[in-house]
Amino acid sequence: MLIPHDTRIALDTVVDLMNTAPEGGRGETLGDVPSLYAFVEGHQVSGVGELGPRDLRAVREVRSRFAEVFAAPDARTAAMLINQLVAGAGTTPQLTDHDGYDWHVHYFAPGASVADHLAADCGMALAFILVAGERERLRRCEAPDCRRAFVDLSRNRSRRYCDSRTCGNRLHVAAYRARRKDAAAG
């Protein structure tokens, strides 16, 4: 699957935002305005001005909308959720090559709040995945004590665990056991 660079970045932002929620297993890590500033800077969300409690609430709301998309039982439900999300954000597609990046489309409207910015651009990245028929790549870790979100970019959509240290290791151990079993059988 070919995912454009900016879509991939937007998907990383979706997943990282979702994993700031208590469901991510580390408690609420988007608990105050400074942590929102840190998130926005860490994810190079451009054109964001001063942030306040209202932005924090709105971004957390967007975060739960992303979670609903991940949890959607079918493509039609996911499409409806993404449509609502993107429509609410008021998108204005615009080609740009800012900061040395190649041409790509920004979807957020000029002067959009950070929440609308995330809803527009990340919502369109999710739309892209749905259009590509790759919705099942939007996953949550299957480790029993971990519900972290991730996007499975593996060739055969076989990834089951997030890349946190514990779960990543679990994956390695499982692969190691499978190889040993194969070796023993052969």
Which stretches of the chain bind Zn ion, using CB under 5 A? 141, 143, 146, 148, 162, 164, 167
**CB of 155 closer than 8 Å to CB of 41:** no
Q: Give residue 84's region: left, alpha or beta (phi > 0; psi -120 to 50).
A: alpha
Six token digits for residue 24: 């991510």
Q: In this complex, which beta carbon is closest to Zn ion, that of residue 109 or of residue 146?
A: 146
Q: In this complex, which beta carbon is closest to Zn ion, that of residue 14 or of residue 56?
A: 14
- Kindly state the smallest distance separating residue 163's Cβ from Zn ion, in Å: 8
For residues 116 and 113, give the distance between their C-alpha atoms in angstroms, rounded to a whole number.
5
Q: In this complex, which beta carbon is closest to Zn ion, that of residue 33 or of residue 45?
A: 45
Q: Give residue 65's region: left, alpha or beta (phi > 0; psi -120 to 50).
A: alpha
Six token digits for residue 146: 């971990």
| Residue 151, strand partner residues | 138
- Kindly state the smallest distance separating residue 106's Cβ from Zn ion, in Å: 5
- Kindly state the smallest distance separating residue 41's Cβ from Zn ion, in Å: 15
Q: In this complex, which beta carbon is closest to Zn ion, that of residue 97 or of residue 182?
A: 97
- Kindly state the smallest distance separating residue 105's Cβ from Zn ion, in Å: 9
Residue 27 DSSP SS3: coil
Read off the DSSP letter of residue 9. H
Six token digits for residue 83: 């449509």
Six token digits for residue 42: 């860490």
- Kindly state the smallest distance separating residue 179's Cβ from Zn ion, in Å: 22
Q: In this complex, which beta carbon is closest to Zn ion, that of residue 125 or of residue 167?
A: 167
Q: In this complex, which beta carbon is closest to Zn ion, that of residue 56 or of residue 108?
A: 108
- Kindly state the smallest distance separating residue 133's Cβ from Zn ion, in Å: 25
Strand pairing report for 104-106 and 149-151: unpaired
